[in-house]
Amino acid sequence: MINFLFLFIMFTGNEILKRVEDTYNAPSDRVSEIKMLLLESDGSKKEREMKIWMKGKYKKLFVFKNPAEVKGVGFLVLSDEELYLYLPAFKKIRRIASSLKNESFMGTDFSYNDLAKSEFTKNYNAEIKNENEKEYILELFPKPESDVEYSKLIMFVNKEIFLPDSVKFFDKGKNLFKIMRNKKFNKIKDYWVIGEIEMENVKDKHKTIMITLKEDLDTGLSDEIFTQRNLKRAE
């Protein structure tokens, strides 16, 4: 009923974007087990498995479970400028400079930033480009002070659940770079969450599919999870 009423409310682009952000960040925390499929243009496939802990807008911890060569590699995000990588072979935590944040995350089509950032309104201004029965079509332009790698995003926002059905990413040369398709939505407790994401790199015809195998929300995660101490232990 509430969603139905929203159909009659006129939103600005930034208001829709804020709602998307709020839907993304609605659970206070989440613990997910993820499978990533890396699909090469020649049809070959690689698998990655990891566990993700998230709390609030910033705090995230990623730990790889598979394959063996990256098992135990951990990635901790405390804020935009505080990213740490743990490499078990060296028994050492290394701070990552933000210049790395726009690079591919462990060979996937997601950048470190794609996985680390969930604050759209901090980084983008949105305008409604179009809309249809099912979706708002937003154009997102980076704010001058933001350090995102894209020149523009086109976001197709599902009117019913206020999560994007898909997002087109344009590089600094304003060429279409990547397309993200959210292929499955799950309702857990009262929250809508994304169950399967496909990220396609249009330039080199490579895809990464991220499938959520298990997800727990509002588990009461302690802040101690998001520490360097736990980054080593989570291995």
Told to check if 81 binds another protein by CB under 8 A, we report yes
Closer residue to another protein (CB): 28 or 98: 98
Q: How far is the CB of 204 from another protein (least distance, A)?
A: 8
Closer residue to another protein (CB): 71 or 183: 71
In 3D space, the residue among 32, 33, 36, 34 whose CA is nearest the CA of residue 207 turns out to be 36
CA distance 96 to 98: 6
Count the residues of the shown chain that bind another protein, applying the rule CB under 8 A. Answer: 33
Choose which of 7, 9, 10, 97 interacts with another protein (CB under 8 A).
Answer: 97
Told to check if 38 binds another protein by CB under 8 A, we report yes
Binding segment toward another protein, per CB under 8 A, in 27-35, 63-71, 155-163, 187-195: 63-71
Choose which of 7, 8, 9, 90 interacts with another protein (CB under 8 A).
Answer: 90
Binding segment toward another protein, per CB under 8 A, in 10-18, 77-85, 119-127, 187-195: 77-85
User: For binding to another protein (CB under 8 A), which residues are involved?
Assistant: 38, 46-47, 67-69, 71, 79, 81-82, 90-92, 95-100, 102-104, 106-107, 147, 149, 172, 204, 206, 227-229, 233
